[in-house]
Amino acid sequence: MNEDLFHLAPESKGNAPGRGRLIGRRILVVGGGQQQYGLEDAPIGNGRAMCLLFAREGATVAVADQNLESAQSTCRAIGDQGGNGFAIRADVRNPDEIQAMVEKAWNDAGGLDGLVYNVGTGREMFLQNVTAEGWDFVLSVNLRGAALTLKAALSRIDDGSSIVLISSTASLRPGSRIPAYDSSKAALAGLMRHAAFEGARRYIRVNVVAPGLMDTAIGRVASKGRPSRSKTPIPLGRQGTGWETAYASLFLISRESAYITGQVLSVDGGLSTIA
């Protein structure tokens, strides 16, 4: 990606200073580690970017991931920037681990007033290749894990908290070619609206961020597997960065969005609406 051509802002590159937007907040990010996929120059992913940005803005961040070492690496990066974060290992396919994750985050952070569910996986491409096992696996991670995390968190987080579920523009158009992925990400919007309805009486807001084609490690791997992905015409002329997903999530987690709930915010350079 030619940054000079598109004049990326400091926020898009992760170079902007913190502005104190989350001072005193305590936020659990599920999926806050990062897989490198064997890439030596892997760009930052959505989850790690969110953790670093939230900490930079003053929050204490509980970084949960199935890969504890990856979560710890994110926490080291937070510490290097002068922030405060701690790691939790959790597999969202296991309901007991989800409950334990929320309890540990609540205990170690001294409470919770923010949550991001940033977990997603895919299996077979095209309906003709779908298996019952593959379908169930994807939905157990992408959808059931989100529902059980919300259930556990809503019993712990403070009134006035904010929750963000990370979806995908594949929930709006058949972009991934993976039916279970597209379906599970689309279903997150229904889950989000219900959680927003239940949370409203306690002033808890729940929203979805739907990234498009992002220049992340998993995005580059996806493009290698499906070269046409990198040739997709995007109105703004480039793929996004993990930092751009993070800043959209920051807005919804912060109290700057105090009157926004039950909404889907696409971060896709116009791909889902004007392409």
- Evaluate whether 272 touches 169 at the Cβ level (below 8 Å): yes
- Evaluate whether 237 touches 202 at the Cβ level (below 8 Å): no
**Sign of torsion over alpha carbons 141, 146, 151, 153:** positive
Instruction: Give the 3-state secondary structure of 97-165.
Output: HHHHHHHHHHHHHCCCCEEEECCCCCCCCCHHHCCHHHHHHHHHHHHHHHHHHHHHHHCCCCCCCEEEE
Q: How far is Cα 256 from Cα 51, in angstroms, rounded to an integer?
A: 18
> Which residue type sits at 118?
N
> Crossing angle of helices 179-199/132-139, nearest 10°?
30
Q: 169 Cβ partners below 8 Å, 6+ apart?
A: 175, 210, 211, 212, 213, 266, 268, 271, 272
Q: Which of 181, 203, 247, 259 is catalytic?
A: 181
Which secondary structure element, helix H or strand E, spans residue 211, and what is its range?
Answer: strand 205-211
Clarify whether 203 is annotated catalytic: no
Q: How far is Cα 181 from Cα 231, in angstroms, rounded to an integer?
A: 21
Helix (H, G, I), strand (E, B) or coil at 31: coil
Catalytic residues: 181
